[in-house]
Amino acid sequence: METIHWSVDINVEKQKGYPQISEAADCLRNGHVVAFPTETVYGLGADATSDQAVQGIFDAKGRPSDNPLIVHISDTDELSGLVAEVSSTASKLMETFWPGPLTIIFNKKSGVFSDLVTAGLETIGIRMPDHPVALELIRRSGKPLAAPSANTSGKPSPTAAAHVAGDLSGRIAGIVDGGETGVGLESTVIDCTVTPPMILRPGGVSAEDIAACIGEVTTDPSLKKEQSAPRSPGMKYTHYAPTAPLYLLEGETEWIQKTVHRLQQEGKKVGLLASRELAAEVNADVISVCGSRNNPAATARSLYHAIRSFNETDVDIILAESFDENGIGTAIMNRLEKAAGHKWIRQRSS
């Protein structure tokens, strides 16, 4: 399959009447799969009402069929035709965080979505992305778009069109290049069909911000382990992983350096995924800096790019610094734990 590439500057595109976005929207209406930018990561879009179109997502990604997909819309008015009801809690969240990196779980309206989207569940995750290219593409397609991250299943999510091309060229109809994404991590997923609402996946909107909006909110305890029936993307399987095995580190700087040396003495080429601060103090064969401890938002934006960079090296093992779990730090650590398959190397207390 030949993959079409559309390079879109939204202001130029608007002046010309959106010719490239319209062409990509035609592909979507005709049942094809198209990657497009959102404010979080690049999504792999298809008509959420079509079995054939949605199957194209699973085929391209190699994604397990029991992993539900998030649906993207361009206007809250579309919800009435998609969900059974919108609670007052969901309305508050939408007013505060939409468009933006928050996915809300609703009870679905029957007979609308492909069963492949919901993985057999009676609920559906929906969000409105905060990206002008994404919103215009959804509007012009005239369809709610199922859109997981546009990467091979299990690998780091793409934050640039080049990442998508590296994973999926020849496997999808097209890629809309709208530049690098802003948030860098997927949306937060919150289930508003339960009381109190429950966060199923941390992401671009923090639990603290959600609580400030609606009051009490809980976090699904299964986030720290694998579960048999995921209710949200990212709840099952190893995600976001580079080619080489990745381990999270917990210990002092001196111990981290000794750990690197020990592995090198065993004949391993060691990669280190680290903050700017740790990278200045520890030597390894390959170091990929993902930001600063003092700027977690910037770390989130750089995280997947930093993880992906190891795939261009010949490292045998990757050691990753752990970060404080405050605000978006919770989402950073969730992604790192998934990338590591919950594998840790911890300093023993003396």
Burial class (CB in 10 A: 0-12, 13-18, 19+), 183: buried
Is 5 annotated for ligand binding? no
Is 240 annotated for ligand binding? yes
Is 231 annotated for ligand binding? no
Separation CA 328–CA 78 (nearest Å): 29
Could you report how far apart the first and last alpha carbons of the chain are, in Å?
Answer: 58
Is 40 annotated for ligand binding? yes
Is 67 annotated for ligand binding? yes
Q: Can you read off the two tokens belonging to residue 74?
A: 């361009």
Is 297 annotated for ligand binding? no
Is 74 annotated for ligand binding? no
333 SS3 class? helix
Is 88 annotated for ligand binding? no
Is 89 annotated for ligand binding? no
DSSP state letters, 169-231? TTTSSEEEE----SS-SPPEEEE-SSSS-EEEE--SS-HHHHHHHHS--EE-GGGGS--SS-S
Is 228 annotated for ligand binding? no
Is 275 annotated for ligand binding? no
E strand or H helix that includes residue 106: strand 102-107
Is 63 annotated for ligand binding? yes
* 72 contacts 128 by C-beta, under 8 angstroms: yes
Q: Can you read off the two tokens belonging to residue 15?
A: 């002046």
Separation CA 45–CA 42 (nearest Å): 9
127 SS3 class? strand
Point out the annotated binding site for ATP.
63, 67, 123, 149, 157, 201, 240
Point out the annotated binding site.
40, 63, 67, 72, 123, 127, 147, 149, 157, 187, 201, 240
Point out the annotated binding site for L-threonine.
40, 72, 127, 147, 187
